[in-house]
């Protein structure tokens, strides 16, 4: 090859990178605008809704909270208490003990006066069999509670068991270690009852980070900003993702993910598509994509809704090791889902879903770390070859960096003007400072974990789950 054709290839490569970076920044700008519109609309609507009638009404639709638990004995009793204290009349709680090896079941039996009951399970989705059986409380104060003990089959399998057992119209799938605020169900059920021109098939909630928050007896007493920089950075990252990204996608009806930690589904449709996929580590994304696909193929008008209120609080990893394994898993989940449903991508048959949402996820979420990694490698090669125009490099890095800081700050604004959870004096300054350092303390690890995820997905098939070591939310 002569030098001129190498030059041309390099030129094309440069344009590709510029084009990608430009498109990605542009998409962020557009999403920010859409999300601000949607947020204002949401706040207006929220300001005068009266939830009181709905929560006390016996004719409001039934909801089952399904919470899979695996070796959660440390906090399970307290967590169940918080699930039972939701302000909604027509709901019940199904704890699926997924073959735990610890004493979770014994603790639950003791704390809630449980006894074994006869219950015929309609096995609409195949799952691992029951182990000790199904339990209910003898105490009428806990009559909403049902505990199901089954053989271990993973989170998706446990959720499927819950879907089989529930007799409600809607199911709320949550992580048992999440702290759910009392008005969570009323708020989440609203879109299902409110929209009349299309069918709402699912609604997702926001996940907030509970590390360092004061929690007493299953209730969130006080919100604090943690000291750990990794956790702080994740808070910022979540704010950005939920308040800017998802808010905008919800307006576009293009949400592809509902956080596995808290989402409500129309049970009939969740079962019609076959429940959760037990062969993926990203079952929470996969089921939404499948449900959407199902509705598109049926040709029915539908929506996936999103409730931005801070209703669900959970513990985020506070060590880089755990963090990386969590993100590694997320990456693999995304790849699996997108690959499994690649038929949708760029397929006009699936309308907006196939032409915008799916490609966006593929290009700007799935492939972003790959592009970034290639870019970095290329940059290193240039350094080695001493071909770097340093003023070019520095100015573009600076630009990219400043953009990321601006987006973080916009997310902070969004938070302050809506939910304003971090009220303490001085926190604002810390959050702004965090926006400035987050690209250095969090982003490299996100990138690393994503690359590892890609590597593991393609070359290390044995790897299944990353372990999340729990410290427990209860600091009584």
Partner 1 sequence: MNKKKIVLAEDNSTLSLLLKFRLEKEGYELFVATDGKQAVDLIESMSPDLILSDIMMPFVSGLEVISHLRNKLNLNTPIIVFSSAGQEEMVLKAFNLGANDFMGKPFSPNELVIRIKRLLGT
Partner 2 sequence: MVDYQYIYDYYSNAPHLIQWVWWVSAILATGIVVLAICLKFIRSSLRRKSNEAAKFKTEYEALLIEYLYSGDESGKLTEPQKLIVSKIKDSIKTGFKRKLIVSVLYNLRNEVSGEMSDSIKTFYYETGLIHFAFERLKSKKWNIIAKGIGELRCFGIDEASHAIAPFINHPKSEVRSETHLYMVNLFLFEGLSFLDDLKVSLSEWIQIQLLETLQKFDNQEICDIRPWLNSKNDSVVLFALKLAQIYNQFEVKETLMDLLSHDNKEVRIKTIDVLAHLYGIEAKEMLKANFNELSLEEQISFFKLLEKLVAPDDEPFIEAYLFHKNFEIQLLALKILKEINFDKYIGLTKSSNDNKSLAMVKAVKVL
In angstroms, give the least distance from the CB of 135 to partner 1: 19
In angstroms, give the least distance from the CB of 418 to partner 2: 11
Q: Does 57 bind partner 1 (CB under 8 A)?
A: yes
Q: Does 218 bind partner 1 (CB under 8 A)?
A: yes
Partner from partner 2, partner 1, none contacting 2, C-beta within 5 to 8 A by type:
none
Partner from partner 1, partner 2, none contacting 405, C-beta within 5 to 8 A by type:
partner 2
DSSP string, 403-469: HHHHHHHHHHHHHHHHT----STTHHHHHHHHHHHHHHHTHHHHHHHHHHHHHHHHH-TT-------
Residues 6 or more apart in contact with residue 354 via CB below 8 angstroms: 296, 344, 345, 346, 347, 348
Which member of 14, 37, 138, 219 binds partner 1 (CB under 8 A)? 219
Q: Does 110 bind partner 1 (CB under 8 A)?
A: no
CB neighbours of residue 119 within 10 Å: 13
**Nearer to partner 1 (CB atom), residue 45 or residue 216:** 216
Alpha-carbon gap, residue 315 to 452, rounded angstroms:
23
**Nearer to partner 1 (CB atom), residue 191 or residue 218:** 218
Report 398-417 residues binding partner 2 (CB under 8 A). Answer: 398-399, 402-403, 405-406, 409-410, 412-413, 416-417
Partner from partner 2, partner 1, none contacting 140, C-beta within 5 to 8 A by type:
partner 1
Which member of 7, 14, 37, 52 binds partner 1 (CB under 8 A)? 52
**Nearer to partner 2 (CB atom), residue 348 or residue 426:** 426
C-alpha dist (Å) from residue 254 to 154, 246, 354? 28, 9, 10
Question: Within 13 A of 192's CA, how many CA atoms are on the CB side?
Answer: 23
Phi first, then psi, for residue 94 (nearest 5°) are -115, 115
In angstroms, give the least distance from the CB of 188 to partner 1: 18
**Tokens standing for residue 62:** 């039934």
Beta bridge partners of 199: 302
Partner from partner 2, partner 1, none contacting 13, C-beta within 5 to 8 A by type:
none
In angstroms, give the least distance from the CB of 141 to partner 1: 5
Region from 62-70, 205-213, 275-283, 418-426 binding partner 2, contact rule CB under 8 A: 418-426
Region from 53-61, 202-210, 283-291, 464-472 binding partner 1, contact rule CB under 8 A: 53-61
Which member of 139, 198, 467, 475 binds partner 1 (CB under 8 A)? 139
Q: Does 56 bind partner 1 (CB under 8 A)?
A: yes
Alpha-carbon gap, residue 440 to 437, rounded angstroms:
5
Alpha-carbon gap, residue 303 to 250, rounded angstroms:
9
**Tokens standing for residue 340:** 């499994």
**Nearer to partner 1 (CB atom), residue 1 or residue 221:** 221
In angstroms, give the least distance from the CB of 105 to partner 2: 22
DSSP structure class, residue 329? H
**Nearer to partner 1 (CB atom), residue 19 or residue 217:** 217
- Is residue 106 within 8 Å of residue 76, measured between CB atoms? no
The gap between the terminal CA atoms of the chain, to the nearest Å, is 70
**Tokens standing for residue 364:** 């700007």
**Nearer to partner 1 (CB atom), residue 14 or residue 52:** 52
**Nearer to partner 1 (CB atom), residue 386 or residue 476:** 476
Report 40-79 residues binding partner 2 (CB under 8 A). Answer: 44-45, 47-48, 50, 52-54, 56-57, 59-61
Q: Where are the alpha helices (DSSP H) in 62-208?
A: 76-84, 104-112, 155-165, 184-194
Alpha-carbon gap, residue 258 to 253, rounded angstroms:
13
Q: How many residues bind partner 1 (CB under 8 A)?
A: 18
Residues 6 or more apart in contact with residue 376 via CB below 8 angstroms: none
Q: Does 141 bind partner 1 (CB under 8 A)?
A: yes
Instruction: Tell how many helices (H) and how many strands (E) occur in the chain.
Output: 17, 12
CB neighbours of residue 49 within 10 Å: 12
H-helix or E-strand containing 378?
A: helix 368-384
In angstroms, give the least distance from the CB of 158 to partner 1: 27
Residues 6 or more apart in contact with residue 74 via CB below 8 angstroms: 470, 472
Region from 28-36, 115-123, 251-259, 320-328 binding partner 2, contact rule CB under 8 A: 115-123
**Nearer to partner 1 (CB atom), residue 204 or residue 218:** 218
**Nearer to partner 1 (CB atom), residue 58 or residue 196:** 58
Of residues 304, 242, 244, 241, the one with CA closest to residue 33: 244
Residue span 196-215 as binding mask against partner 2, x where in contact by CB under 8 A, dash where not: xx------------------
Residues that bind partner 1 (CB under 8 A): 52-53, 55-58, 85, 87, 89, 139-141, 143, 182, 216-219
Residues that bind partner 2 (CB under 8 A): 44-45, 47-48, 50, 52-54, 56-57, 59-61, 118, 120, 122, 124, 190, 192-197, 391-392, 395-396, 398-399, 402-403, 405-406, 409-410, 412-413, 416-417, 420, 423, 425, 428-429, 432
């Amino acid at each position: 090859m002569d030098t001129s054709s190498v030059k041309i290839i390099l030129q094309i490569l440069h344009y590709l990178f510029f084009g990608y970076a430009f498109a990605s920044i542009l998409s962020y700008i557009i999403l920010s605008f859409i999300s601000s519109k949607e947020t204002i609309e949401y706040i207006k609507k929220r300001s005068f809704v009266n939830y009181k009638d709905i929560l006390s009404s016996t004719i409001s639709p039934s909801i089952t909270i399904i919470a899979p638990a695996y070796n959660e004995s440390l906090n399970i009793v307290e967590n169940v208490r918080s699930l039972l204290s939701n302000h909604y009349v027509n709901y019940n709680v199904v704890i699926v003990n997924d073959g735990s090896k610890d004493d979770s079941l014994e603790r639950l039996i003791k704390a809630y006066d449980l006894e074994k009951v006869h219950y015929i399970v309609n096995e609409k989705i195949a799952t691992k069999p029951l182990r000790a059986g199904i339990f209910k409380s003898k105490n009428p104060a806990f009559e909403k509670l049902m505990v199901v003990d089954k053989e271990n089959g993973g989170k998706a399998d446990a959720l499927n068991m819950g879907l089989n057992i529930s007799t409600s119209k809607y199911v709320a799938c949550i992580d048992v270690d999440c702290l759910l605020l009392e008005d969570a169900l009323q708020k989440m059920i609203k879109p299902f009852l409110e929209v009349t021109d299309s069918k709402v098939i699912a609604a997702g909630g926001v996940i907030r980070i509970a590390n360092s928050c004061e929690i007493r007896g299953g209730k969130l007493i006080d919100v604090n900003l943690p000291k750990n920089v990794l956790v702080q950075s994740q808070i910022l990252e979540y704010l950005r993702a939920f308040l800017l990204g998802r808010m905008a996608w919800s307006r576009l009806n293009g949400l592809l993910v509902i956080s596995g930690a808290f989402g409500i589904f129309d049970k009939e449709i969740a079962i019609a598509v076959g429940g959760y996929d037990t062969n993926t580590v990203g079952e929470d994304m996969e089921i939404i994509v499948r449900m959407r696909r199902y509705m598109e193929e049926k040709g029915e008008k539908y929506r996936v809704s999103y409730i931005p209120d801070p209703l669900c609080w959970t513990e985020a990893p506070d060590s880089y090791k755990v963090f990386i394994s969590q993100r590694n898993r997320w990456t693999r989940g995304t790849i699996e889902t997108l690959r499994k449903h690649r038929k949708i991508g760029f397929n006009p048959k699936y309308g907006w879903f196939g032409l915008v949402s799916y490609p966006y996820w593929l290009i700007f979420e799935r492939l972003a770390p790959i592009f970034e990694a290639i870019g970095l490698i290329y940059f290193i090669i240039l350094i080695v070859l001493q071909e770097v125009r340093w003023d070019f490099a520095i100015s573009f890095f600076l630009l990219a960096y400043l953009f990321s800081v601006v987006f973080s700050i916009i997310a902070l604004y969004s938070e302050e003007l809506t939910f304003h959870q971090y009220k303490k004096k001085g926190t604002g300054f810390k959050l702004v400072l965090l926006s400035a350092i987050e690209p250095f303390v969090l982003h490299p690890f996100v990138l690393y974990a994503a690359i590892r995820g890609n590597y593991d997905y393609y070359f290390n098939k044995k790897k299944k789950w990353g372990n999340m070591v729990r410290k427990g939310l209860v600091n009584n």
